[in-house]
């Protein structure tokens, strides 16, 4: 088997390797990722991120999303898939929307592929609307929408769910999604990575 990023062959050479948690990236590539495993509150909801958004993470995400390298879908959550499954047991992942145009260009839904390995039920309850389509909406619908995010009409949401995204940069997408969800849901928030400048607690609690 080869490392998904650098293509170097990875082999199980020693006896100890057999017992080690396997990974799809080689140790050199994985070392570049900064694991922070941070718990915090985002608008009062429990939130969790695995990595800091650094150069190595961003180059992998870029290759996955912008170049369309679907093979990398396991690189992000594979080592933590079991932990996540336990942590969010009985919950449904609500995937954040990407713009339709981007998704058509890419030819696949990147979040769906990314979270596929975790093995939890997934839903895509949101719609992302550009400036253009906002104009065509009525006032009533427009009020419902915050920052270009809309709940798909007539969708039945489970009570216990997790808002899932790849990166929290400014948090505006998350905030938008939170504002269109109905009250009273048992919500958690998960992202693979968090921008380092945003790790200050006060920003996230605001």
Partner 1 sequence: MKCPRCLNTDREFFYRGSNGWYCRKCISFGRAMLEEDREAAVLEPVRAGSEEYVLQYPLTEAQARVSHQCAEAIDTTSVLLHCVCGAGKTELVVESISKMLKARKNVCFAIPRRQVVLELENRLRQYFPNAEVTAVCGGHTEKLTGDIVICTTHQLYRYYGTFDLLILDEPDAFPFRGNAVLHGIAETACRGRTIYLTATPDAWLKEKEKRGELICLKLNRRPHGHDLPVPVIKTAPTVILLGILLYWLKKRSTPRMIFVPTIRQAHLLHTFLSRFVSCSVCTSKTENRDEVIEAFRQKKDGIIISTTVLERGVTIPGSDVCVFHADHGVFDEAGLIQMAGRAGRSFQYPDGDVLFLESSRSALVRKCRKEILEANRCAV
Q: Measuring CA to CA, how many Å separate 174 from each of 92, 113, 124, 161? A: 16, 20, 14, 14
Q: Report if residue 71 touches partner 1, rule: CB under 8 A.
A: yes
Shortest spacing between CB 113 and partner 1, in angstroms: 8
Q: Which of 6, 67, 83, 206 binds partner 1 (CB under 8 A)?
A: 67
CA dist 133 → 129, 130, 140, 145, 152 (Å): 6, 6, 14, 12, 15
Give the H/E segment covering residue 132: helix 131-135
Contact 163, 188 (CB under 8 A): yes
Interface with partner 1 by CB under 8 A: which range of 50-58, 68-76, 119-127, 161-169?
Answer: 68-76
**Nearest to 23, CA basis, from 35, 38, 36, 12:** 12
Q: Cα dist. 34→49, 52, 66, 175, 193 in Å? A: 11, 5, 22, 25, 9
Residue 124 is encoded by which pair of tokens?
Answer: 């895509």
State how far Cα 189 lies from the chain centre: 9
Nearer to partner 1, 68 or 90 (CB): 68
Residue 71 or 155: the one with the smaller Cβ distance to partner 1 is: 71
Interface with partner 1 (CB under 8 A), residue from 23, 69, 116, 124: 69
Q: In terms of CB distance, is 52 or 103 closer to partner 1?
A: 103
Site for partner 1 in 2-41 (CB under 8 A): 2, 7
Counting residues that bind partner 1 (by CB under 8 A) gives 11
User: Between residues 2 and 152, which has the closer beta carbon with respect to partner 1?
Assistant: 2
The binding track of 103-132 with respect to partner 1, each residue x by CB under 8 A or -, is ----xx----x-------------------
Measure the CA–CA gap between 44 and 56, rounded to whole angstroms: 30
Tokens 């199980």 belong to residue: 12
Tell me whether residue 63 or residue 199 sits nearer to partner 1 (CB atom): 63
Tell the smallest beta-carbon distance from residue 63 to partner 1 (Å): 6
Using CB under 8 A, list all residues that contact partner 1: 2, 7, 63, 67-71, 107-108, 113
């Amino acid at each position: 088997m080869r490392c998904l990023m650098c293509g170097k062959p990875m082999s199980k050479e020693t006896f100890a390797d057999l017992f080690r948690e396997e990974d799809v990236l080689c140790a050199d590539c994985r070392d570049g990722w900064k694991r922070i495993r941070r718990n915090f509150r985002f608008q009062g909801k429990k939130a969790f991120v695995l990595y800091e958004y650094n150069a190595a993470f961003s180059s992998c995400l870029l290759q996955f999303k912008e170049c369309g390298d679907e093979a990398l879908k396991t690189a992000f959550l594979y080592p933590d898939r079991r932990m996540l499954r336990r942590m969010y047991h009985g919950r449904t992942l609500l995937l954040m929307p990407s713009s339709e145009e981007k998704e058509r260009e890419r030819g696949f839904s990147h979040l769906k592929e990314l979270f596929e390995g975790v093995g939890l039920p997934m839903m895509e309850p949101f719609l992302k609307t550009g400036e253009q389509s906002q104009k065509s909406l009525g006032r009533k619908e427009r009020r419902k929408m915050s920052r270009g995010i809309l709940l798909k009409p007539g969708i039945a949401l489970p009570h216990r769910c997790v808002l899932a995204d790849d990166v929290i940069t400014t948090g505006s997408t998350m905030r938008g999604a939170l504002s269109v969800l109905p009250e009273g849901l048992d919500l958690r928030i998960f992202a693979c990575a968090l921008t380092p400048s945003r790790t200050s607690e006060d920003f996230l609690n605001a």
